[in-house]
Amino acid sequence: MVRIATLVLILLMAVTAPAAAKLEPTPPAARSPVPELPMRGLDGKSMRLEDFRGKVVVLNVWATWCLPCREEMPTLERLQQAFADRPVVVLALSVDRGDDEKVVAFLDEIGVKSLTVARDPKMRTVRILGIPGLPATLVIDREGREVLRRFGLYEWDGEDVKALMEALLAEPPAS
């Protein structure tokens, strides 16, 4: 019963979230570290956010059954391509149950090939981060701290996001 209620809330959040809300990054001094999340790569090996330290991470939590995720995913692909030669990683964390083939087939179907893909089929990340709906995206600075979180559909290849990535890449290391 709780799982059904959670899925309904996730679907409602994804459908009703405003797409035009402005990104509001947290100033460096007020940022908090993102906790470690249970995830593994499509190769079956465990992955950690710590593996991406020194890079700006755009962590997108999504699922193949999420229609707004389908629409949003190509914008994340274009963002990754725009920063392909820079220390920016778009980490697509699928919370789909089942095997990896469903995730791989979905990404192939929509033509997404540049993203780093991880899995959390038990949806523990949703609980750890307090995510009320999908898609959900966190931008994480090079020190592993949360810069912002955004729920619902967003155009991640927009000029506002590119400017944010540039600003984060220009930040000096935390002392």
> pLDDT by residue (tens digit) across 38-62?
999 999 999 999 999 999 999 999 9
Q: What angle, 0 to 180 degrees and rounded to 10, lies between the N-to-C axes of helices 100-110 and 67-82?
A: 70
Contact 94, 65 (CB under 8 A): no
Q: Which residue do the tokens 């893909």 mark?
A: 117
Phi, psi of 15 (to 5 degrees): -80, -30
Per-residue pLDDT of the chain (175 residues; tens, 9 = 90+): 555 544 444 444 444 444 556 899 999 999 999 999 999 999 999 999 999 999 999 999 999 999 999 999 999 999 999 999 999 999 999 999 989 999 999 999 999 999 999 999 999 999 999 999 999 999 999 999 999 999 999 999 999 999 999 999 999 977 5
Contact partners, residue 170, CB within 8 Å, separation at least 6: none
Neighbours of 136 (CB within 10 A): 26
**Domain residue spans of the chain:** 2-170
d(CA 120, CA 128) in angstroms, rounded, equals 12
The fold for domain 2-170 equals Glutaredoxin (3.40.30)
pLDDT (0 to 100) of residue 22: 81
Residue 146 bridge partners (DSSP): 140
Task: Give residue 55's pLDDT.
Answer: 98
